[in-house]
Amino acid sequence: MKHPLLPVGVLFLALSVITLTGCSSEKDPVPSTSTVSNASPGSAASAGSSGSTAAETASFTQGLATTTVKELFACKGARVTSLGEIQSDDGKKWTVPADIDTKLTDAADLSNPCKNVNLPNVASVDLSKVPVVEIDPNGTVVTGYIFADNYFELYINGKPVAKDAVPFTPFNSHVVRFKASYPMTYAMKVVDWEENLGLGTEANKGNPYHPGDAGVVAVFSDGTVTDGSWKAQTYYIAPLASKTDLVLETRNGVQLRTTPNASNSPSCAKSCYAAHFAVPDQWFAKTFNDAAWPSATVYKTADVGVDNKSEYTNYKSEFGKGSFIWSSNLVLDNEVLLRRTVDKAPATK
Ligand SMILES: [Ca+2]
Ligand SMILES: [Ca+2]
Ligand SMILES: [Ca+2]
């Protein structure tokens, strides 16, 4: 049995320590400027001012995963898309590069080299042929254009709309339509796929262990576009030369998983580490609280390397309304969850 007075006593002690260590904002629900990680690890000030019960931890794996699905998707002349499984040093099992929902419907193609589809521009899209996925019967019909390096799943108001038809390579792009009500919660799982399962790398530029890069842009007809107002949290980070390349800290209630000092081209090859975090249940639900997720980072088209890719440039009249986003590391973060809730349709630009 828990003693009813104990938590009060612990809270009193924690607040006393915070006061003694000079933090003046302990009664504010959100600390204004203090950085939790600046407190000594495990100190009362650290536990008290973050408002969380325990510091976040990652699960680490090292080396190649076991291939579980050799050919999830195949396309002539492109890389074979596979899935793998690997156990972390804390005994947990992880699907790499990500646990995806293969049962979702493929989105309609703008450009899909695997099916010889390559519409010349947005004007040539026949929207009457794009199925409208009914999320809410009395909702607004919204059209969206999506380009992901490499894979996305789109959920609106907690329900699936569609997935990327080409999980890895070649590049491709999609158009989606759905009927949904406001406030509207956009949620996307985006994955930078990999050839060396569990390592976050692919054969590229003469290097068999080249870390691939990522990025996603989505533009919706209600004026919602990917930009820095979205939330983005990473769940799979690789390749890491060392576990200490991962920096975990909670700042103003936001859980940061960053790799500020990690090399984007480590030489660890088959012995690289990867960091894994469990994807929360119902992360795509309207009611999911994403307050602890960082804001998305905005990237230039040159960072993503799509300025000469027709799968992107043919539809730039739409894609150009939004920005490429990802979490804080475009190379090492390989599975990212994105969310944005809008109360009503923003003014269309
Ligand atoms: Ca794709
Ligand atoms: Ca990629
Ligand atoms: Ca990557």
pLDDT confidence of residue 6: 38
Q: What is the pLDDT of residue 35?
A: 36
Specify the pLDDT at position 345.
Answer: 77
Tally of CA atoms within 13 A in the half-sphere of 128 that contains its CB: 0
Measured in angstroms, how far is the CA atom of residue 321 from the centroid of ligand 2?
22
DSSP 104: S
Ligand 3 centre distance from Cα of residue 315 (Å) = 25
Q: How far apart are the first and last CA of the chain?
A: 59
d(CA 248, ligand 2 centre) in Å: 24
Q: What are the tokens at 213? A: 């890069």
Its sign, for the CA torsion 121, 126, 131, 134, is positive
In angstroms, what is the span from residue 34 Cα to ligand 1's centroid? Answer: 40
Residue 346 is which amino acid? P
Cα-based distances in Å from 25 to 13, 15, 18, 33, 49 = 16, 10, 9, 9, 9
Centre of ligand 1 from the C-alpha of residue 172, in Å: 5
- Domain ranges in the chain are 7-342
Strand 201-204 relative to strand 159-163, pairing: unpaired
CA of 107 to the centre of ligand 1 (A): 11
- pLDDT at position 51 is 47
Residues less than 5 Å from ion ligand 1, measured at CB: 150, 164, 166, 172
Which of 9, 7, 48 is CA-nearest to residue 25?
48
Instruction: Name the percent of the chain in helix, strand, coil, to the closest 5.
Output: 15, 35, 50
Q: Report which of 75, 60, 97, 59 is spatially closest to residue 214, judged by C-alpha positions.
A: 97
H-assigned helices in the chain? 6-20, 44-50, 301-304, 310-313, 316-319
Using DSSP bridges, classify how beta strands 117-118 and 108-112 pair: parallel, antiparallel or unpaired.
antiparallel
CB burial readout 66-95, b (16+ within 10 A) else e = eeeeeeebebeeebebbbbbbebeeeeebb
What residue type is assigned to position 223 of the chain? Answer: G
Cis peptide before 170 (omega within 30 of 0): yes
Q: Give me 19's structure tokens.
A: 């006061």
Residue 348: the pLDDT is: 55
Q: Which residue has the tokens 């986003």?
A: 325
Q: Kindly give the distance from the C-alpha atom of residue 169 to the centroid of ligand 2, in angstroms, as a whole number.
A: 8
Q: What is the pLDDT along the chain (349 residues), one digit of tens a residue?
A: 334 333 433 433 333 333 333 333 333 333 333 333 333 333 333 333 444 444 799 999 999 999 999 999 999 999 999 999 999 999 999 999 999 999 999 999 999 999 999 999 999 999 999 999 999 999 999 999 999 999 999 999 999 999 999 999 999 999 999 999 999 999 999 999 999 999 999 999 999 999 999 999 999 999 999 999 999 999 999 999 999 999 999 999 999 999 999 999 999 999 999 999 999 999 999 999 999 999 999 999 999 999 999 999 999 999 999 999 999 999 999 999 999 999 987 765 5
How close is the Cα of 241 to the center of ligand 3, in Å? 14
Q: What pLDDT is recorded for position 19?
A: 35
Omega prior to 239 cis, within 30 of 0: yes
**What is this structure's pTM?**
0.85
Q: Please give the helix or strand (H or E) that residue 85 lies within, else none.
A: strand 81-87
